[in-house]
Chain A
Amino acid sequence: AQKITQTQPGMFVQEKEAVTLDCTYDTSDQSYGLFWYKQPSSGEMIFLIYQGSYDEQNATEGRYSLNFQKARKSANLVISASQLGDSAMYFCAMREETPGYSTLTFGKGTMLLVSP
């Protein structure tokens, strides 16, 4: 089974609207972290937001928020007031807190296109 599943290959949204990018994960660890990265067409990986498994509140960073539903094992990224510059590939990733190492497992990504 995949550890990180992003079911939306592509999403379209109009400028200034909100959009939700889905991410579900699979782990038996009690302690883990969830990350979202943005990859624009230029190719670099840009960190957006982090949610720890023990964090009681949903993470927020500016226009980005993470809708964390632990029981459903989902960590959806919400982008409010979309901008043209938000057009990019978005990756959800999980870091399992297995002692001794700290590696990330990535989903396949969702391509977001923001139209004027």
Chain B
Amino acid sequence: NAGVTQTPKFRILKIGQSMTLQCTQDMNHNYMYWYRQDPGMGLKLIYYSVGAGITDKGEVPNGYNVSRSTTEDFPLRLELAAPSQTSVYFCASSPVKARARNQPQHFGDGTRLSIL
């Protein structure tokens, strides 16, 4: 009963380093999302995907890249880490909208990332 799994849980990066935040879900959900949550704020959408091979930008995509080669996996890539990317990152998934109007997004436990 794993749901949405994110790794790592914590990471410290130096400015200019790159890394990939991993996200996998075992619920066969078509929709997947990446959010960031800055201190004292709500979640802001970075990227989302409506299915394997299809991704699109959210509200704050700059500095990030994503790919969706399988239904299960939706990794988020930071190419040149900057202090402004210090945040908590959440991955989420949800069923196809038309068949599940009232289905919520299921969230992973988050990755706490610090850029120093």
Contacts and interface: CB of A to CB of B under 8 A. Distances in A.
B33 A103 contact: yes
Interface residues of A, number: 23
A71 to B, nearest CB: 22
Contacts of A102: 31, 94, 97
Contacts, number: 60
Interface string B50-77: 1000001010000000000000000000
Given A45-B90, A45-B107, A97-B97, A106 B102 contact: no
B41 interface: yes
B33 to A, nearest CB: 7
A31 B94 CA distance: 18
Contacts of A44: 107, 109-110
Interface in B82-116: 88, 90, 92, 94, 97, 101-102, 104-107, 109-110, 112
8 contacts: A4-B42, A33-B102, A45-B90, A50-B104, A91-B43, A103-B45, A105-B45, A106-B35
